[in-house]
Amino acid sequence: MELLKKRILDEGKALSENVLKVDSFLNHGVDAKLMYEIGTEFKNYFEKHNVTKIFTIESSGIAPTVMTAMQMELPMVTLKKQSSKILNGEVYQTTVHSFTKSLDYQLTLSKKYISEDDNILIIDDFLANGEAALGAIRLVEEAGAKVAGIGIVIEKSFQPGRKLLEDKGYDIYSLARIKKLGKDLIEFI
């Protein structure tokens, strides 16, 4: 998506060879107009996938997902990150390890918001090691539902997430794919 790539080049900053800061439009400040365009891109790609609901993971996945859900006229659900287990039988829960942040959290979904007839599109802001996406997939599949595809705003293609998900047969659509990060360097595939 050219508009997104331009914003990344204009405003993004590589903090290291691994981390891209995009606080001005995605992770802290949010550019609603850009999020709307992102929603259009995801809609155009996924509209033939018979999606029934769109899931995201709090918090930075919410803005692009709201815009996609609005345009696809579908319900949206935000998966919660809890620090400890609350196993009261009313939720599906799975442990996710974040390599970027060196911590574990419990990804949580209320059983009320999924059924085995669902075909779920998962959207997130970044794809790095794929742990968050894999956690979301585990919750969907534990509920007996299907994963329709995975939409990613910024994929760091030099990290293992994409390959891991592709090898498992999931359809991934990333709007910007970064090949390399470095001092004053942001290179796309």
Binding residues for ligand G4P (CB under 6 A): 19-22, 27, 57, 59-61, 98-101, 125-132, 156, 161
- Answer for the pair 81, 58: CB distance below 8 angstroms, yes or no: yes
> Which is nearer to ligand G4P, 41 or 131 (by Cβ)?
131
- Answer for the pair 12, 187: CB distance below 8 angstroms, yes or no: no
Q: Please check if 143 is assigned to a binding site.
A: no
CB of residue 48 to ligand G4P, shortest distance in Å: 26
Angstrom distance (rounded) from CA 117 to CA 96? 25
CB of residue 131 to ligand G4P, shortest distance in Å: 3
Question: Own/partner pairs for 34-37, CB < 8 Å, 24+ apart?
Answer: 34/3, 34/4, 34/7, 35/63, 35/64, 35/66, 35/67, 36/67, 37/1, 37/3, 37/4
Q: Please check if 119 is assigned to a binding site.
A: no
Give the residue among 80, 88, 84 at the shortest CA–CA distance from 139.
80
Q: Please check if 27 is assigned to a binding site.
A: yes
CB of residue 62 to ligand G4P, shortest distance in Å: 8
* Pairing of the two strands 20-21 and 13-14: antiparallel
> Which is nearer to ligand G4P, 52 or 78 (by Cβ)?
78
CB of residue 148 to ligand G4P, shortest distance in Å: 19
Q: Which residues are annotated as a binding site?
A: 20, 27, 128-132, 156
Q: Which residues are annotated as a binding site for xanthine?
A: 20, 27, 156
Q: Which residues are annotated as a binding site for 5-phospho-alpha-D-ribose 1-diphosphate?
A: 128-132
